[in-house]
Chains A and B, each alone.
Chain A
Amino acid sequence: MNLAWKEVKKNKLRFLILGSIIFLISLLTFIISGLANGLSQDNAALVKDLPDGQFYMNADADETYNLSRIDRHIQEKLLTSQKDVAALSIQMGFLNDKNDKQQSVAFVTSTESKMFENVKPGEIILDRSMEDKGIKAGDILTNNQFSGEFMVKGFVDQKKFSHAPVAFIHIENYKEMYRVGEMQLIFVPGQDKAQEADGLQSFSKKEFLDTIPSYNAEQMSLNMIVWFLVVISGMLFAIFFYMMNVQKIALYGILKAIGLKTSALFKMMWTQMLFITGIALGLSAALIQGFNMFAPEEIPFRLTIETISLLSMVFFIIGFIGATLSGVQIKKIEPLQAIQQGEV
Chain B
Amino acid sequence: MEFFTVNELKKAFTNGEVKEEILKGINLSLKKGEMTALVGASGSGKSTLLTIAAGLQPASDGQILFEGKNINTMNQEQIRKIRASKFGFVFQFAHLVPFLTVEEQLMLMLDVSESRLNKHEQKSEVNRILKLVGMDHRKTAYPSSLSGGEKQRVAFARAIIHQPMVLFADEPTASLDSKRSKEIMSLIRDLTKNLNITTLMVTHDEEMLPYTDRIIKMSDGLILQNFEPQAKS
Contact = CB atoms under 8 A, between A and B. Distances in A.
A339 B83 contact: no
B113 A339 contact: no
Nearest to B93: A343
B109 interface: yes
B89 A258 contact: yes
B108 interface: yes
B89 A342 contact: no
A261 B81 CA distance: 9
A7 B142 CA distance: 12
B98 A251 contact: yes
Interface string B80-103: 110111000101111111111000
Contact of B158 (A256, A258, A344): A258
A335 interface: yes
Nearest to A248: B98
B57 A259 contact: no
B224 interface: no
Contacts of A339: 51, 56, 91, 95, 170
B104 interface: yes
Contacts of B109: 258
Nearest to B88: A258
Given A1-B111, A258-B89, A339-B56, A344 B83 contact: no
Size range of the interface on A?
Answer: 20 to 34
A3 B56 contact: no
Contacts of A10: 98-100, 142
Given A6-B99, A258-B84, A336 B112 contact: no
A259 B113 contact: yes
Nearest to A260: B112
B37 interface: no
A11 interface: yes
Interface string A231-266: 000000000000000000011001111111100000
Given A259-B80, A259-B85, A344-B95, A335 B108 contact: no
Interface in B108-123: 108-109, 111-113
Interface in B122-157: 142
B216 interface: no
Interface string A1-13: 1010011011100
Contact of A259 (B84, B91, B170): B84
Contact of B81 (A3, A255, A259, A344): A259
Nearest to A8: B99
Contacts of B108: 1, 3, 258
Contacts of B99: 6-7, 9-11
A334 interface: yes
A110 B56 CA distance: 81
A62 to B, nearest CB: 69
Given A6-B99, A257-B89, A339-B91, 7 more contacts: A1-B104, A6-B104, A258-B112, A259-B81, A260-B84, A338-B95, A343-B93
13 contacts: A3-B97, A6-B100, A10-B99, A251-B98, A254-B95, A254-B97, A258-B109, A334-B57, A336-B56, A336-B57, A339-B56, A342-B92, A343-B95
